[in-house]
Structure 1
Amino acid sequence: MKLSTLALSLGAILLLSGCSHKEVYKPENVKGEWRTAGHLSSSISQTADSAALLDNGRLLTAKGEKNIKIPEEYRLINATDTWIIAESPENNLVLFPADGSDAKVTFELKRQIAAANIQDDTVAILFTNNEMALYSLESKKLLFKESANAPIAVDSRIANPYFLKELVLFLTLDGKIVIVNSATKQVLRSVVVSSEEYFNNVTYMNVIDNNLVVSTNNAVLALSQKEAREKYEIRNIAYASDGIWLTTKQGEIIALTPTLQFKAKKKFPFAHFVGLSVQNDRVYALEQEGYMIAITKNLLAYDVYDVDMDNDNKIFLGDGRFYFDDRYIDIK
């Protein structure tokens, strides 16, 4: 079973077993309508943290729609400046050139893939059983592998391996960062982000000014000269040079310093946030019922706008844009 299918199936069971009368967010004041800025050539069918696929097979990146097509039956994993990384129906890793040429590369793995990334000749793969591996792009030979505890259930948002100079950071399905030296092929360190039993995979990672921020659904970790860790029930997270903002399952927006010191909190009763972005002096939180909350970074003042969207839309966050269905809105 695919990881995303497993997560969705378990999520459906939990929803069905809960209360049938769902409370939804209803703002007291709506300033106006947040107008659609533009349309895509087709609706979004798949999303990953770095890109999305449209129903017509075209690729959508943070910078906009690209004239590159991926077969409909393939699963999008990642997109870099050089390669579009996907999984075939046969569970092979397939690399499509980002320039749109036909020189694709296939790794015949016949194994279910959770996440992957590539830098130069090194291909980093995280399998669904939580095994980590490095392959050579040129020879396709296995260079390194490391086993880990297989997960019971995961969130469908899975962070891809991250390259930091000669280091490869594997963001595991059981809430850890495993740091591997790509030259020596040795594990240098393993850092626990959180240790929950279910849905504990790493869903987010970013590095700014040598400060590494990583989160699962249950905790956020900041790692620089010191290690800081805080527990929150996280829905979304955004990290900028001047702070970290996250939304929680309790309908909160929380502001933290880059090293996780608490700064402020604002609660929006029953809000279910599906996207979060920081632009200039504002934090933009997209709410499932079709509202955009534009709040100051200190969380002291905000406006709420109507957004024309369905609450089952697939959301992709681009460069100053929220994409959903077959359109997008600008937040710059």
Structure 2
Amino acid sequence: MIKNSFVYLIFAILFVFVGCSSKKFFEPTKIDSFMKFKDKLTDHIQTSNRFGAVLKNGSVITQNGVSYIKLDKNSLFLNDSDDYYIITQKCDQIELINKKTQESIFIPVDTCALSASIKADKLAVILADNSTNIYDIKTKEILFSQKGTPSIAINSLLSAPIFLDTLVVFPTLDGRLLVVDEKSYSIVRNIIINSEKFFNNVIYLMVDGENMFAATPKRIMSIISGREFSYDADIRDILYDKNYLYVLTLEGQIIQLDKTLRETNKVKLPFATLNAIVVIGNKLYTIEKTGYLIELNIDNFTYKVIEVKGMFGKKKLDKINFYDKNRIYYDQYYIDFTKE
């Protein structure tokens, strides 16, 4: 009996060892240079979304840098939109903090708000039950409400509604774009991007003139002068910049697509786990979680690997990060690429 138990133990150890050893990581063939984080935040990042990050001490970083507001432990930052910071509190109300007066407006909601944006006196919100609502900020009245199919599991990269001239575009939790007329509050279009059952929320939405770009974790769609184009991939993140889309995939690829989603450039970093996309001039920057900053030349798609040094050797980059147009924030540090 003891002998059998010993044999089972050996097999168990071998199983764990083989399982762990089979996992592969990014191993660059060449390290071009080394760096350390020079700039430091007042605390560690505790939560983040597409539009901001909250530090453990309650400070908020938005797309425009560190803000003056501080949140308590029951609040979550949603967006910096128009003249307001949008905060969700205890899943029963949304707080709008006026940037000029610092006064607050409270909008009651039925469940947790996940993303929101503002134009003038209108607040567009996506709730956790996949409801898409428009509120009058002054009267707190619901002007429009439509409940979609509930989503059991969603990707943490949540996009926010976009106000156009007379339309509101909602990126839903079930892979659709719901287009609502802002005057009649009627549904103009219901565009299905993808119909996966899990992790199918719209993770990216961008409008550039008459062109619209949206993505779920599995599919990108562009609408160019009324024509629709699509591109399938296992998407980690995506960014539109200067007429091109830049895509990070789960397989370690960095892909450049034109507006019609035709591949124009592509490079693969085997087994790389890439996070964040910042484009400055002709350089794209992203971080790789085992401890590298990747600098990609978007003209010819050659890249440099920069090893990030910590106190005791290479610094792993596997904690929460956030990025804006010029900076990548990681844990308690950030890199400002405009300084280089």
TM-score, scaled relative to structure 1 = 0.90
Alignment partner, residue 201 of structure 2: 201
Q: Which residue of 2 is the match for residue 141 of structure 1?
A: 141
1:317 equivalent in structure 2 = 323
SS at match of 1:307: strand
> Are 1:152 and 2:152 counterparts?
yes
User: Which residues of 2 match residues 70-219 of structure 1 at below 5 A?
Assistant: 70-99=71-100, 101=102, 103-219=103-219
Quick one: which amino acid aligns to residue 233 of structure 1? D
1:35 and 1:94 mapped to 2: Cα distance?
38
Preserved contact between residue 317 and residue 330 of structure 2 (Cα < 8 Å):
no
Following TM superposition, by how much is the alpha carbon of 1:100 offset from its aligned partner in structure 2, in angstroms? 6.5
Q: Deviations over 1:247-306 (max 9, x none)?
A: 111111111112211112211111011111221111212111121111111453111101
Judging changes above 3 Å, is the alpha-carbon distance between structure 1 residues 129 and 90 closer, same or farther for their aligned structure 2 residues?
closer
Specify whether residues 321 and 302 from structure 1 end up closer, same or farther in structure 2 by C-alpha distance, changes over 3 A only: same
Partner letter of residue 77 of structure 2? L
SS in 2 for 1:184: coil
Q: Give the distance between the partners of 1:129 and 1:322, measured in 2 at CA.
A: 31
Preserved CA contact (<8 Å) 1:290 1:311: yes
Structure 2 vs 1, CA of residues 71 and 143 (structure 1 numbering), >3 Å: closer, same or farther?
A: same
In the TM superposition, what whole-angstrom CA distance separates every residue of 1:190-231 from its partner, at most 9, and x where no partner exists? Answer: 111111111000011112242211111001111121110110
- 1:115 Cα deviation from its structure 2 partner: 1.6
Q: Which residue of 2 aligns with 1:268?
A: 269
Counterparts in 2 of 1:131 and 1:207: CA distance versus 1, 3 Å: same
Deviation at 1:79, TM superposition (A): 1.5
Name the structure 1 match of 2:24. 23
**Aligned-partner SS, 1:28:** coil
Q: Which runs of 5 or more structure 1 residues have no equivalent in the other structure? A: 1-15
CA contact (8 A) 2:266 2:301 kept: no
Greater mean alpha carbon deviation, residues 108-117 or residues 213-222 = 108-117
Aligned AA for 2:282? Answer: D
Equivalence for 1:12? none
RMSD across aligned positions (CA): 1.9
Residues 1:129 and 1:36: Cα distance change in structure 2 (over 3 Å): same
User: Quick one: which amino acid aligns to residue 205 of structure 1?
Assistant: L
How far did 1:174 drift?
0.6
Distance in structure 1 (CA, Å) of the matches to 2:38 and 2:73: 27
SS of alignment partner, residue 236 of structure 2: strand
The structure whose RCO (Cα within 8 Å, separation 6+) is larger is: 1
Retained in 2: the 8 A contact 1:40–1:65? Answer: no
Structure 1 residues 100 and 52, CA gap change in structure 2 (3 angstroms): farther
Residues in 1 aligned to 2:187 and 2:108: alpha-carbon distance in whole angstroms: 25
State, as a whole percentage, how many aligned pairs show the same letter. 27
2 CA distance for matches of 1:224 and 1:306?
40
Supply the AA of the counterpart residue of 2:193: V
Counterpart position of 1:49: 50
Cα separation, 2, equivalents of 1:260 and 1:182: 29
CA distance in 1, matches of 2:91, 2:233: 38
Report whether the alignment pairs 1:254 with 2:259: no
Q: Is the 8 A contact 2:117 2:123 kept in 1?
A: yes
SS of the residue corresponding to residue 258 of structure 1 reads coil
Aligned partner of 2:10 in structure 1 is none
Where structure 2 has 5 or more consecutive residues not aligned to the other structure, the ranges are 1-15, 310-314
The answer (yes or no) to whether the contact 2:290–2:318 under 8 Å persists in 1 is: no
Counterpart residue type for residue 189 of structure 2: R
For 2:222 and 2:100, locate their aligned partners in 1 and report how far apart those are by CA, in whole Å.
Answer: 35
Contact 1:208/1:241 (8 A) holds in 2: no
Partner of 1:292: 293
Return the letter of the residue paired with 1:327: Y
Task: Give 2:335's aligned residue.
Answer: 329
Q: Distance in 2 between the 1:109 and 1:135 partners?
A: 10
Q: CA deviation at 1:19?
A: 4.8
Q: Secondary structure at the match of 1:114?
A: strand
Distance 1:100 1:316, change over 3 A: farther
Please give the TM-score of this superposition, normalised by the length of structure 2: 0.88
Q: Are the aligned partners of 1:81 and 1:98 in contact in 2 as well (CA < 8 Å)?
A: no
Task: Please give the alpha-carbon distance, in whole angstroms, between the structure 1 residues aligned to 2:246 and 2:109.
Answer: 38
